[in-house]
Amino acid sequence: MSKIAIMGAMPEEVAPLLERVENINKVEYASNTYYEATYKGKELVIAYSKIGKVFSTLTASTLLEKFGCTTLLFSGVAGAINPKLHIGDLIIADKLCQHDLDITIFGHDHGYVPEGAVFVETDAKLREIAKEVALKNSLKVIEGTIATGDQFVASSERKAFIESTFSADALEMEGASVAVVCDALDVPFFILRAISDTANDDAGVDFDEFMVGSAKISANFILEMVENIA
Ligand code: ADE
């Protein structure tokens, strides 16, 4: 049977999951807390990493290598780039990139380092499951590119750069690093985000207002997906 990792970056992103799962067993490891649990007969390990690419890399690696998870689902919030995305809307990443990875001085593309790739693709089967869940619940989901970087973007200028360079639909701070880990270890993964702000100059204010609500929307969707994963 599959063992499903569900991770977020912040406590608010995993709290709605922990409220609904059963048989929780807390495990402290590598300066973080991992919650083994079950949901509708499925084995889960839930954790939030803390914000950013480094912490999320550590948590994703731990979920796969120490806890032996065979699928990873990420739940959280993002800033919208695509104008079709509004607060509370869901985006499924079909691929992710690191918008702040920059060795362009050596003639490389933005987001590229030798032996890496600008974009990492998510698992197509998990995306299909998500689309079925969306259809069943009459929920709108957009499938697109998510750009990740170690910065909270609250600038229309930076947002425009990320849009024009990567054709990204949304941005956040962990997805691409989790993608790199799962891709390297050949574990199917899925990144879901609900919009908390539009990454413009007032993004900080919107984030504070909408983050908790959007995190719940994402977490509830992820739990419904869990029921449909074999
Ligand atoms: N997550 C949610 N909103 C964000 C933003 N504006 N920048 C980076 N990460 C985010």
Mean pLDDT in order along the chain per 10 residues (230 residues): 95 98 98 98 98 98 98 98 98 98 98 98 98 96 98 98 98 98 98 98 97 98 96
**Domains assigned to the chain:** 3-228 (3.40.50.1580)
How far is 180 from 83, CA to CA, in rounded Å?
A: 27
Whether the Cβ atoms of residue 133 and residue 40 lie closer than 8 Å to each other: no
DSSP per residue, 19-50: TT-EEEEEEEETTEEEEEEEETTEEEEEEE--
> Is the CB–ligand 1 distance for residue 79 below 6 Å?
yes
Cα 198 to ligand 1 centre (Å): 8
The Cα–Cα gap between 99 and 171 comes to 9
Residue 86 is predicted with a pLDDT of: 98
Q: How many angstroms does the Cα of residue 161 sit away from the middle of ligand 1?
A: 15
Q: Is 116 left (phi over 0), alpha (psi -120 to 50) or beta?
A: beta
- The contacts found for 26-30 with CB under 8 angstroms, 24 or more apart, are 29/62, 29/66, 30/58, 30/62
Per-residue model confidence (pLDDT) at position 215: 98
How much is the pLDDT for 122? 98
- Model pLDDT, residue 1: 74
Asked whether the whole model's pTM tops 0.75, one would answer yes
Q: Which residue has its alpha carbon closest to ligand 1 atom 3?
A: 79
